[in-house]
Amino acid sequence: MALTGREKAALLLTNLDKATASELLKGLAPDDMEQIGIELARLHTTGRGRTDEALSVVQEFVEILKDNRAQSINLKNFLNDVLLSSVEKEKAEQIKNRIKKATEKRDPFAEIRLAETNQLVLALEDEHPQAIAVILSELPWKKSQEVLSFLNEDVRKKTICKMTSQGGLGAIVAERIASTISAKLRAFEGETLIQKPVNKQESLRKVAIMLNGMEKELREQLIEEIKRQDEETASIVRKLMVTWEDIPSIADRSLQEALRNVDAKTLALALFGEGEQITQKIRSNISERLGASLDEEASLMQEPLPKEVLVAREQIVKPLREANEEDKLRFVQR
């Protein structure tokens, strides 16, 4: 879609040094500055200030653009540092308020996107999962994931379900939700959520369990999105979808299929020091012959190294993960 003149002007200003931008703006009428200011605010909320699109606009005005010639301007401070400093204080406040109202009318989620994660978590507290889903759908993926990690498990699950089925939600309802959350954000006045140290493994495990409960196609789409952001994290999430601790919740038939090619020595190592629940689950899903061999191996085995136990458990979990990837693994509870 072709850019408007105001969009081009805003993109050009973000690629000029402050002194040059200020000089250009001094020659504009207040109404013109207001319109450009609206575009600048929109660029900030959508993150479009550093794109190839911006470069193409600059190239329209400059024949040759040297890499060290353009200095990017912080969009968040642009209105105060450059745009509003070009007029008297009273007029600047009027323009600033008009820009804010016009921006909110054009994009009701603008203020929400700029909020800190802590503030968003507080604002979404006690909100219906449908409202939370609307807000998270308008946030960048990374921030949406951060907010999700702070929600309790039940709300998190319901919110994700709502995010996958928002087809019938009208624009007016969405704007009303945005208005409510924006008002909450303004009321906090700097209040922040006290953060506890985050256990990354635990946090990713929660995400993995949520994804595992989704349809395979949707699950893969979300994992690919995580992979685009961080390939290592995506790999960890895949592994955490099925772990050794999940064995009691796996359906007998699925577990039997996975244990079919596991030898008694590996089983004995894996079950070393294990509690009754997992031990009984595995023993009840192997043949009597394999059970007898397992007892023999356990009686002859010296105390293994912790690493050996972990390797043996991974050998048992691996076919379970493969079955899960193929959408063939069944759970009786989680």
Could you report the per-residue pLDDT of 279-304, keeping only the tens digit for each?
A: 999 999 999 999 999 999 999 999 99
pLDDT band at 194 (very low <50, low <70, confident <90, very high): very low
Residue-wise pLDDT for 141-163, tens only, equals 778 888 888 888 888 888 887 77
pLDDT at 70: 40
- The answer to whether residues 278 and 243 touch, using CB atoms and an 8 Å cutoff, is no
Task: Kindly state the tokens that stand for 96.
Answer: 């600033």
What gap in Å lies between CA 278 and CA 259, rounded to an integer? 13
Q: Which CATH architecture has domain 112-188?
A: Orthogonal Bundle (1.10)
What gap in Å lies between CA 101 and CA 105, rounded to an integer? 6
Q: Which residues touch 311 (CB under 8 Å, ≥6 apart)?
A: 269
pLDDT > 70: what percent of the chain?
A: 65
pTM over 0.85: no
What gap in Å lies between CA 21 and CA 17, rounded to an integer? 6
What gap in Å lies between CA 261 and CA 153, rounded to an integer? 36
Domain boundaries 244-325, CATH class: mainly alpha
Strands, DSSP E only, in the chain?
none
Are both 112-188 and 244-325 of the same fold?
yes
Within 10 angstroms of residue 88's Cβ, the number of other Cβ atoms is: 9
Annotated domain spans of the chain: 5-107, 112-188, 200-240, 244-325
What gap in Å lies between CA 35 and CA 21, rounded to an integer? 15
Task: Kindly state the tokens that stand for 147.
Answer: 């907010």
Q: What is the mean pLDDT of residues 202-220?
A: 82
